[in-house]
């Protein structure tokens, strides 16, 4: 594509020939190829301006940055390359990407999901419901990139919401695959970093809010306001009014709004009540405009019924009728790692769930205890790349709610795993209780949880991996709870064979 730097309003100055051929966008100088546009992004640990020369030497035809002195100096040194000066590098990346990919977000219905807990689950429910009702829907989020039919192999730039250039490349791919809509998780950090700048969402969804990401936002007020901003760029919204942010959004949002609640006296547009959990899913009463409908769903627990209401509200916004929606709810696909029940090993129920906040953990424990079981073993984790102040609250939430608790570490990052575990342990009233165990890696924690279990037990493996890996000192180390579980029970089965028994 021919790019005319002099035609972009966000470029305050340009140097050398403003017209260049661009075939690729990158903010990583190592990924630059011939005729790439390189954005000198300033991050927490790096400054793209320091890699500007490397980008030029690797073939970049356009360089965009905010440091005027460095840009002018480089422009004089490399006259065959075009340089653009901007005030906001992230806003520029978003607007440039929209133009480069020919506004793919306008060619597909866009649905953004924000909230402390439930983003991945709601996105999966929306994708499943809309697709089964004839609206082919892809998804973008923690579990990966999916078209309506299959996973798209794509190296994500961030765990949840991709950087703007990657995001619009994915939109373009979904359009090419003839998808009608895309549902995506939108994190508070992504909103603050303008990764979704310039997108007019057809629908924004609020799941819930509790304290999270204070290592980035510093205060709860700033965290909440970041999430609220998503609704300033949406035409319609689905809002949970069972928490304070939802009630604030009712006052602030000016578009077409559908509210949802688990309180039948809330006055919400969509209400779920009389929830009954079984091993097959949850049956509940759906109340819409004063009329009740009996729903059989494939989702587990009250909090997932709440998530399902968000999907129902989204379907209504996109022109579907209740008589089309309700029959599909018994076949909603649950996302991997969200109340993912594994039952084929050793007569146990092993539940993998990404619950990584005190609120999510408490909801999970309440629902898991409704399942028939002898003992409950719960593994909880401190996440090294997140807020250390949250870690003790995870211990306080789990204490007294399980027969055995294993404390481990997820994604230690640059931290000593022992310090992460020690921080979690400070939340227990009785950290020396003999039913509490510790481990310094997630793998060891999973193995300890399995070793504590017997037939008829429920094992909860909470928190979890990002993109199938553990983040250790900047490296993504492959990890799979499912593989560890499978290997454990295969070894256990071998030790029970007659030959091995005789050798004991």
Q: Which residue has the tokens 């050798």?
A: 503
* 116 in a known ligand binding site: yes
Task: State the Cα–Cα distance between residues 195 and 163, nearest whole angstrom.
Answer: 5
* 282 in a known ligand binding site: no
Task: State the Cα–Cα distance between residues 133 and 323, nearest whole angstrom.
Answer: 11
Give residues with Cβ within 8 angstroms of 56, minimum separation 6. 38, 63, 74, 78, 81
H-run or E-run covering 172: helix 164-176
Please answer whether residues 326 and 308 qualify as being in contact, where contact means their C-beta atoms are separated by less than 8 angstroms.
no
Interstrand relation of 181-185 and 109-114 (parallel, antiparallel or unpaired): parallel
H-run or E-run covering 381: strand 376-383
Write a three-state SS string for 342-356. ECCCCCCEEEECCCC
For 109-199, list the strands marked E by DSSP: 109-114, 137-141, 144-146, 151-152, 181-185
* 118 in a known ligand binding site: yes
Q: Which two tokens stand for residue 185?
A: 């998780």
C-alpha to C-alpha distances, 153 to 149, 158, 491, nearest whole angstrom: 13, 15, 32
* 193 in a known ligand binding site: yes
* 386 in a known ligand binding site: no
* 187 in a known ligand binding site: yes
CA 376, 338, 258 angle in degrees (round to 5)? 125
Burial class for 375, CB neighbours closer than 10 Å (0-12, 13-18, 19+): middle
* 139 in a known ligand binding site: no
Please answer whether residues 111 and 126 qualify as being in contact, where contact means their C-beta atoms are separated by less than 8 angstroms.
yes
Nearest-10 Cα torsion for 363, 367, 368, 370: 150
Exposure string of 407-418, with b = 16+ CB inside 10 Å and e = fewer, is bbbbbbbebebe
* 462 in a known ligand binding site: no
Number of H helices and E strands in the chain, helices first, is: 17, 26
Please answer whether residues 63 and 41 qualify as being in contact, where contact means their C-beta atoms are separated by less than 8 angstroms.
no
Task: State the Cα–Cα distance between residues 203 and 15, nearest whole angstrom.
Answer: 40
Collapsed DSSP state (helix, strand, coil) of residue 483:
helix
* 438 in a known ligand binding site: no
**Spatial CA neighbour of 186 closest among 158, 212, 161:** 161
* 142 in a known ligand binding site: no
* 117 in a known ligand binding site: yes
H-run or E-run covering 492: helix 481-495
Give residues with Cβ within 8 angstroms of 95, minimum separation 6. 8, 10, 197, 198
Interstrand relation of 181-185 and 151-152 (parallel, antiparallel or unpaired): unpaired
Binding annotation:
29, 115-121, 160-161, 187, 193, 195
Binding annotation for ATP:
115-121
């Amino acid at each position: 594509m021919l790019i005319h730097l002099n035609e972009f309003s966000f470029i305050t100055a340009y140097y050398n020939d403003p017209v260049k051929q661009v075939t690729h966008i990158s903010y990583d100088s190592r990924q630059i190829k011939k005729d790439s546009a390189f954005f000198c992004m300033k991050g927490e640990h790096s400054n793209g301006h320091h890699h500007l020369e490397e980008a030029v030497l690797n073939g970049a035809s356009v360089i965009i940055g905010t440091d005027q002195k460095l840009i002018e100096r480089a422009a004089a040194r490399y006259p065959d390359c075009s340089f653009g000066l901007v005030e906001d590098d992230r806003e520029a990346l978003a607007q440039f990407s929209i133009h480069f990919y020919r506004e793919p977000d306008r060619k597909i219905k866009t649905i953004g999901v924000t909230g402390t807990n439930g983003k991945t689950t709601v996105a999966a429910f929306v994708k499943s419901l809309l697709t089964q009702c004839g609206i082919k829907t892809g998804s973008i989020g923690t579990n990966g990139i999916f078209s309506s039919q299959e996973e798209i192999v794509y190296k994500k730039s961030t765990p949840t919401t991709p950087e703007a250039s990657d995001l619009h490349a994915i939109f373009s791919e979904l359009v090419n695959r003839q998808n009608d809509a895309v549902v995506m998780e939108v994190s508070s950090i992504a909103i603050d970093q303008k990764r979704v700048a310039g997108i007019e969402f057809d629908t924004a969804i609020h799941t819930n809010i509790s304290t999270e990401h204070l290592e980035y936002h510093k205060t709860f007020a700033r965290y909440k306001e970041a999430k609220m901003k998503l609704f300033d760029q949406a035409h319609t919204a689905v809002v949970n009014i069972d928490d304070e942010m939802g009630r604030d959004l009712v006052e602030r949002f000016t578009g077409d709004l559908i509210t949802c609640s688990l309180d039948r006296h809330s006055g919400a547009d969509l209400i779920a009540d009389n929830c009954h959990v079984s091993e097959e899913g949850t049956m509940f009463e759906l109340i819409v405009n004063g009329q009740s409908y009996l729903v059989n769903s494939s989702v587990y627990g009250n909090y997932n019924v709440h998530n399902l209401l968000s999907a129902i509200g989204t379907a209504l916004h996109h022109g579907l009728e209740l008589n089309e929606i309700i029959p599909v709810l018994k076949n909603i696909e649950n996302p991997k790692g969200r109340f993912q029940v594994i039952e084929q090993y050793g007569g146990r129920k092993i539940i993998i769930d990404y619950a990584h906040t005190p609120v999510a953990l408490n909801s999970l424990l309440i629902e898991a205890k409704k399942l028939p079981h002898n003992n409950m073993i719960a593994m909880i984790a401190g996440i090294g790349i997140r807020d250390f102040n949250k870690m003790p609250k995870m211990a306080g939430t789990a204490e007294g709610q399980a027969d055995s608790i294993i404390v481990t570490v997820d994604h230690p990052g640059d931290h000593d795993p022992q310090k992460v575990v020690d921080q979690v342990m400070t939340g227990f009233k009785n950290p020396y209780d003999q039913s509490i165990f510790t481990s310094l890696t997630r793998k060891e924690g999973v193995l300890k949880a399995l070793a504590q279990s017997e037939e008829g037990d429920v094992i909860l493996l909470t928190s979890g991996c990002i993109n199938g890996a553990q983040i250790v000192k900047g490296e993504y180390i492959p990890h799979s709870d499912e593989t560890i579980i499978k290997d454990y029970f295969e070894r256990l089965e071998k030790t029970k064979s007659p030959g091995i028994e005789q050798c004991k």
